[in-house]
Amino acid sequence: MTTENNINKAFEIAKERYAALGVDVNAALENMKKISLSMHCWQADDVSGFENQGGDLTGGIQVTGNYPGRARTIDELRADVSKAASLIAGSHRLSLHEIYGDFQGKNVDRNEVEPVHFQSWMEWAKENGMKLDFNSTSFSHPKSGDLTLSNPDDSIRNFWIEHTKRCRKISEEMGKFQNDPCMMNLWIHDGSKEVPANRLKYRAILEKSLDEIFATEYKNMKDCIEAKLFGIGLESYTVGSYDFYLGYGAKKNKIVTLDTGHFHLTESVADKVSSLLLFTPEIMLHVSRPIRWDSDHVVILNDDVMDLAREIIRSNALDRVHIGLDYFDATINRIGAYVVGCRATQKAFLLALLEPAAKLQEYEANGQYFERLALQEELKSLPWHAVWDMYCAQNDVPVGESYMKEVQQYEKDVTSKRN
């Protein structure tokens, strides 16, 4: 019996099992087409970018590991992203930080960046069937320090305001070029190692900076504001906390970004989804895996990711939630890290789509809480993996662990030859 026959046979059995619970497996596979992940370019090169090769990473973030073969040029990074995308089912996006511009060897400071520096990215993405998202970059710069948009120093603050304004303009041009809104994420590291004498002071400055930045309205980009719990060296106070951005987003109708690595480890990010959907227009996700601190490990199919996906599907909110990834692991093969994380995220959403929502809600409405809990437990052992295999096969990407060989071959042929 061929592998293809095994996949088909297992899939038909799975369809019957799920149909008995009122789940249409084919409908779930069709809905998977709506899920487009925004892959993060910085996994390929350890958040180095192309404006300052060899510069130190600052801003309270850190990449660990020195696995050989990181992308060193824009062509190498594009090749790595293309290879990873070829092993991930579906059509996806690429999220760029501003430091990844095509600067052609020229010294372009961040308050001088223009859409032309990303024109080749727009064309490359179109040629490769991808859409682009964007991020302003406040870290790893001589003027980064501990405070950027919340800095009392007018010259430094205005520098970063101008930078962010230009990033919004770039995002607008990206969205216009690809005829699809570009998600523009704003995250700053601003904070302090010890508790400041006046917390309100810096948050008031940040609010004023954001108001100035967002004064210009655009039609082809969407603004997202991202909070963080703390940064290395900035442990006691974060200006752009979750409470700050939740309040600002609800008041100013902005999209709040939920990075799963930017909260306390015992805090449920999934639980925030339903509240944000009520009071903000949309949600941007940065799916990551924190371990003890915001370590940005490669995403795996764990309870946190599955709970997050379930909450989105149960809320019928796929059209209001944008799914991006955000991690940077330099301890393992970087292309492999892309593929593992993306496929794990997709698995979580497939599992959520295969949930017999109607039956569970019926039990709940009838007060049948034993039955609700029992069915939730039984779902864990249903043959969802057979549906996943079919999803991969339908999208012409490797089924199961077979993608490992392609990653290994790419390392042998390409990345291992980089000094």
The Cα 407–Cα 85 span in angstroms is 11
| 228 counts as catalytic | yes
Of 121, 124, 160, 187, the catalytic one is 187
Of 163, 228, 254, 272, the catalytic one is 228
Q: Where are the beta strands (DSSP E) in 81-239?
A: 93-97, 131-135, 182-186, 191-192, 221-226, 237-238
Pairing of strands 255-259, 221-226: parallel
Of 294, 304, 355, 411, the catalytic one is 294
Of 51, 146, 172, 226, the catalytic one is 226
| 264 counts as catalytic | no
The number of CA neighbours under 13 Å toward the Cβ of 328 is 20
Q: What is the end-to-end Cα distance of the chain in Å, rounded?
A: 45
Of 45, 259, 355, 411, the catalytic one is 259
The Cα 214–Cα 325 span in angstroms is 25
| 141 counts as catalytic | no
| 304 counts as catalytic | no
Of 98, 172, 311, 326, the catalytic one is 326
Phi and psi (nearest 5°) for 394? -65, -25
Torsion-angle region of 189 (φ positive above 0: left; ψ -120 to 50: alpha; else: beta): alpha
| 56 counts as catalytic | no
Of 83, 97, 189, 262, the catalytic one is 262
- Per-position b or e across 200-222, b if 16+ CB within 10 A of its CB: eebbebbbebbebbbeeebebbb
Q: How far is CA 107 from the centre of its chain?
A: 29
Which residues lie across from 293 on neighbouring strands?
291
The Cα 134–Cα 164 span in angstroms is 11
Of 146, 223, 296, 304, the catalytic one is 296
Angle at the Cα of 300 from the Cα atoms of 296 and 301, rounded to 5 degrees: 140
| 33 counts as catalytic | no
| 211 counts as catalytic | no
Of 15, 92, 189, 286, the catalytic one is 286
* Residues assigned a catalytic role: 187, 226, 228, 259, 262, 286, 294, 296, 326
